[in-house]
Structure 1
Amino acid sequence: MGPMREARGSKRRGRDVRHSGGFLRNWLAPLLVLALLAAGVGAYRFEWGQRHLPWLAADPVTEPEQVLVPAGLDLPAWSPPADDAGDDPAGIVLDPAAAPRLDPARVAAALSADLADPDLGRHVVAEVAPLAPGAPSWTSGDGRYLPASTTKLLTLGAALEVLGPDHTFTTRVVRGERAGEVVLVGGGDPLLASRPLTLAEAGATYPARADVTTLALETAEALGDGPVRVRFDDSLFTGPTDNPAWRRDYVPDDIVAPITALMVDGGDEPDSDLKQDDPSLASARVFVDALRAAGVRVSGQPRPAVAPPDAEELAAAESAPLSQVAERILDVSDNEGSEVLAHQVGLATSGTGSFEGGAAGVLQTLGGLGIDVAADEVYDGSGLSRRNRVSTSTLVGLLQHAAGPAGEDARSLLTGMPVAGFTGSLTYRFAEGPALARGLVRAKTGTLTGVHALAGVVVGRDGVPMAFVLGADRSPPEERYDAQEALDRAAAALAACRCSAPAAG
């Protein structure tokens, strides 16, 4: 969530921190998103999470907060467009071949001053293109940059493509090999919770969560009399739980949790800014406590084991659809959730759920979409690795794909990105520059020490939707806030720009 969520530590010390018919209907979803943003519809709800920024929570019971409309922003009334694949009441040109082209001189005039801000440092890259797939772009800089958390767009885009937006993740309880044994089996659910939501939380939390406490209650109902021993199986993922491409202090200093296939609350310790040392064991202990609370006699402590093949299933808990999970992860820049999904991509593409398998699977999947990833180097799913290098064209191409007729599966990339001045990691940004940008810029942030990035979509003053990437990865660390503001001003300038090329003739 902003720089604090994207790279945080308990001991900071300067650490790095669905299917529709017709061509028009395929385009309708992203255009509606952009149209609603342009209309400035109401106030957006988002989920910071009391676990992440407790001092910002107005109500300690609920996770999301209602964000008031920024002062001075006039919100016109709106009405939904006609739900008819043959109608185009807004007069929007949807044919990619006829999409507006950008005027390079106008884009340069809009961005040059802010991209030259010395607070951004010596290496600044930028790319802007119409949102239509394949539309030519305007670029500045050498194109490759350290992407930080804009890497999450690549991870989630690949996950949505290879698994599908309706895919869910299942946590199961099965009978063990020995009499009286039950095994809690991790399914790599990125949002698995320790406990069910209260009624107040459930009404304001998106998306819904599966939880191991409810799973334990269902297990208790399925069990007969007699004591049980609990085992846990997190063998779905393999390899190290601490990425070798991360700084060595990231896991020990609670910047990120070890990544396993069985982790509750994103690996967070309850009511703490610390991370669990062994998320799988911590999840099993929550399960055991809930079993005991339900009256089940549990012998001993939970231990690791591999569930027998074809074991009898006693209970199961299913996650929300991946499309909703992806929106949540993008909104709050969830590092652990992104890494879990990268492991899932590795499983789907090569059968290996690991950091290495996930990174390779992400690039393989994007390459299969026709996106040129030849110059890209990716070592994790969250963007915490400082070894990552990505071309701006990769991110622009992915956003164009997600907006196009062939990108229906990846549409959550557009709907999940934070909205400037309203939601997620952009809630308290875009305080400067044209007020028009608040609501018209939707972007994923990227922040590490000396690294600042924005990648997303924006509607220009002439109504043309654009994909953009702005990155600076050699910024003076002491100028972090000024550097962020410079990128915010640049993105805001795109919202105020009539950047499309004049019509011929």
Structure 2
Amino acid sequence: MNDTAAELSAETFRPEGRRRHRRPRPSGTGTGLRRALVLAVAVPVASAALAGPSAFAAGKTGVTAKTGAADADDQQMAANLETRVLDQRLGSDVSGVVLDAASDTTIWGHNAATALMPASNAKLATSTAALTVLGPDHRFTTKVVYGDGTLTLVGGGDRTLTTADLAELAKTAVAGLKVAGLTSVKVAVDDSLFPEPTLANGWNDGYYPDTVAPVRALVVDGHGVQDTSIDAGQVFAKQLVDAGVTVDGDVARATAGTRDVPVARHRSAPLSDIVHTMLKHSDNDIAETLLRMTALGAGRPATFTGGTEVVRHILSDVYGVSLDHFELYDGSGLSRADRIPAATLAQILELLTEPRYAHTLGSVLDGLPVSGEAGSTLGPEYGRFDDPHSECAVGKVHAKTGTLTGAIALSGLTLGKDGRWKVFSFVENGSTADPNTIKDAMDGLAATVNGCWA
């Protein structure tokens, strides 16, 4: 367990009161839970059927006091937020909320139930569902099989597959060919695990292939190309040639036969590591691949619809998160049709403060970028937490970023001045200010929650 995860298991995080919208998790883990999920999502899930009463339904703006007298630091923080959320850089369409994890109370809220474009904050929902359905130790398998003179590279949904991994597969395959006395083969790729790529509702084809690649079950080195499967097959074929094997013809798409002989396989890093990478760098391609693998893990089609149905089920029926006004059409948050209230994002993050979910969801917490962390989306290379009002919070805020044209979000956790963990979410849509200045204002709100900007 890393230092951050250890902190989250500390006494500070043991709940002292009734949790918001929380329902008991189904008994059993692993196969038992996955079987329950398959049965539960066999019928498409409707939004209204899953949505419970919202804790934020009453009133759009204002401060909800703790049970008993709110402490002076929280009162000051709420008062500061009430002023700072009106920063002109944020525009007029902004939503925010701050929860106290230990006492199960809402310290402050501003339009918290208003559903806005969440941008990459949607990845919080995707990663929570993937870890719950598949398990943090799950690994994705890429295989090579042989039949009728053809080596077929079979994609298994590993978006982290590398050239080095393919080199190992090729090395094993070549050794087998030599034993069999074969010096030439054809090469094919099988990416039939996923259906033919389509655009999500709210996407445009201008996203392809740089912002996100067409979602296929086979890719190497995260290449942003139109056909990642053929590309991976070509890399594999070149390695065979370099090892002295003749490759006949061009790499083609095919479906591996049931009688094909297994030759080699590669298993990915654990899902927990992949989620960590996806969140640190806000990787759209990993998010969309995980959405499909999550759907398959729950017995649903590997499509945007199948994946988002499962996400809805996990959030609502497994964890009791409110889906009021929740609309999700992809796994990455690139869709301009996605809508998630700050209240819902905060409830997802609040799960990370509960020790009972530490094993399953720990990599979400560990994967959240840390304010000022180089190499993450909150690093200095992105100009984050370098404003005079927010630089005091460097190293103190764990949060997921989100950026689209017309939408910027920041949702995460930080220790308040009282030493208790605060969960926050801030989302703005439609501000006409420079995006960098909007992010400065967002960072200032997080520093306010931390209390270092008092």
**TM-score normalized with structure 2 length:** 0.81
Distance 1:98 1:357 in 2: 32
Q: How many residues align?
A: 393
Distance 2:227 2:103 in 1: 43
Distance 1:453 1:495, change over 3 A: same
Q: Indicate the residue corresponding to 1:381 in structure 2.
A: 331
Q: CA deviation at 1:323?
A: 0.5
Answer yes or no: is the 8 Å Cα contact 2:392–2:452 preserved in 1: no
Return 317-326 or 254-263, whichever deviates more.
254-263
SS at the partner of 2:17? Answer: helix
Distance 1:165 1:393, change over 3 A: same
Of 140, 144, 154, the residue aligned with 1:185 is 154
Q: CA deviation at 1:347?
A: 1.1
Q: Indicate the residue corresponding to 1:493 in structure 2.
A: 448
Answer yes or no: is the 8 Å Cα contact 1:160–1:322 preserved in 2: yes
Answer yes or no: is the 8 Å Cα contact 2:316–2:323 preserved in 1: yes
Of 370, 391, 394, the residue aligned with 2:341 is 391
Q: Does 1:165 align with 2:136?
A: yes
Q: CA deviation at 1:168?
A: 0.4
Distance 2:102 2:167 in 1: 46
Q: CA deviation at 1:107?
A: 3.5
Q: Indicate the residue corresponding to 1:41 in structure 2.
A: none
> After superposition, what is the alpha-carbon deviation per residue over 1:380-432, rounded to whole angstroms, capped at 9, x for unaligned?
11111110001222221111112213312011111101100124000111012
Q: AA paired with 2:447? A: A
Of 403, 417, 421, the residue aligned with 2:353 is 403
Q: Indicate the residue corresponding to 1:94 in structure 2.
A: 14
Answer yes or no: is the 8 Å Cα contact 1:459–1:466 preserved in 2: yes
SS at the partner of 2:207? Answer: coil
Return 355-364 or 162-171, whichever deviates more.
355-364
Of 116, 121, 130, the residue aligned with 1:150 is 121
Q: CA deviation at 1:142?
A: 4.7
Q: Does 1:238 align with 2:195?
A: yes
Distance 1:93 1:152, change over 3 A: closer
Q: Indicate the residue corresponding to 1:44 in structure 2.
A: none
CA RMSD of aligned residues (A): 2.4
Answer yes or no: is the 8 Å Cα contact 1:376–1:391 preserved in 2: yes
Q: CA deviation at 1:310?
A: 5.7
Distance 1:110 1:233, change over 3 A: same
Distance 2:242 2:97 in 1: 56
Answer yes or no: is the 8 Å Cα contact 1:131–1:399 preserved in 2: no
Of 145, 164, 173, the residue aligned with 1:219 is 173
Answer yes or no: is the 8 Å Cα contact 1:419–1:443 preserved in 2: yes
Distance 1:134 1:219 in 2: 56
Q: CA deviation at 1:226?
A: 3.1
Of 276, 290, 294, the residue aligned with 2:239 is 290
Answer yes or no: is the 8 Å Cα contact 1:261–1:280 preserved in 2: yes
Distance 2:416 2:451 in 1: 6
Distance 2:102 2:203 in 1: 35
Q: Does 1:258 align with 2:214?
A: yes
Distance 1:121 1:212 in 2: 49
Q: CA deviation at 1:229?
A: 0.8
Q: Indicate the residue corresponding to 2:146 in structure 1.
A: 175
Q: CA deviation at 1:29?
A: 7.3
Distance 2:257 2:18 in 1: 57
SS at the partner of 1:326? Answer: helix
Answer yes or no: is the 8 Å Cα contact 2:203–2:335 preserved in 1: yes
Distance 2:123 2:12 in 1: 30
> After superposition, what is the alpha-carbon deviation per residue over 1:107-155, rounded to whole angstroms, capped at 9, x for unaligned?
4223123211111112000011123495445311152211000111111
Distance 1:410 1:310, change over 3 A: farther
Of 81, 93, 98, the residue aligned with 1:111 is 81
SS at the partner of 1:426? Answer: coil
Distance 1:329 1:310, change over 3 A: farther
Q: CA deviation at 1:436?
A: 3.4
Q: AA paired with 1:479? A: D
Answer yes or no: is the 8 Å Cα contact 2:112–2:342 preserved in 1: no
Q: AA paired with 1:350? A: G
Q: Indicate the residue corresponding to 2:30 in structure 1.
A: none
Q: AA paired with 1:96? A: E
Q: Does 1:442 align with 2:398?
A: yes
> After superposition, what is the alpha-carbon deviation per residue over 1:436-458, rounded to whole angstroms, capped at 9, x for unaligned?
31111011100011211101111
Distance 2:378 2:82 in 1: 23
SS at the partner of 2:14? Answer: coil
Distance 1:346 1:462, change over 3 A: same
Of 270, 273, 297, the residue aligned with 1:321 is 270
> After superposition, what is the alpha-carbon deviation per residue over 1:262-313, rounded to whole angstroms, capped at 9, x for unaligned?
01122x2xxxxxx312111101100100111111111111111111236321
Q: Does 1:417 align with 2:368?
A: yes
SS at the partner of 1:376? Answer: coil
Q: CA deviation at 1:244?
A: 4.2
Q: AA paired with 1:167? A: H
> After superposition, what is the alpha-carbon deviation per residue over 1:219-268, rounded to whole angstroms, capped at 9, x for unaligned?
1112232311111110111243433430232116x3221110001122x2
SS at the partner of 1:162? Answer: helix
Q: Indicate the residue corresponding to 1:430 in structure 2.
A: 385
Q: AA paired with 2:369? A: P
Q: AA paired with 1:419? A: V
Answer yes or no: is the 8 Å Cα contact 1:30–1:403 preserved in 2: no
Distance 1:120 1:93, change over 3 A: closer
Q: Indicate the residue corresponding to 1:362 in structure 2.
A: 311
Distance 1:237 1:131 in 2: 39
**TM-score normalized with structure 1 length:** 0.73
Q: Indicate the residue corresponding to 1:6 in structure 2.
A: none
Q: AA paired with 1:307? A: A
Answer yes or no: is the 8 Å Cα contact 2:13–2:102 preserved in 1: no
Answer yes or no: is the 8 Å Cα contact 1:242–1:259 preserved in 2: no
Mark the runs of 5 or more structure 1 residues left unpaired by the alignment: 1-17, 19-27, 36-87, 197-210, 269-274, 500-505
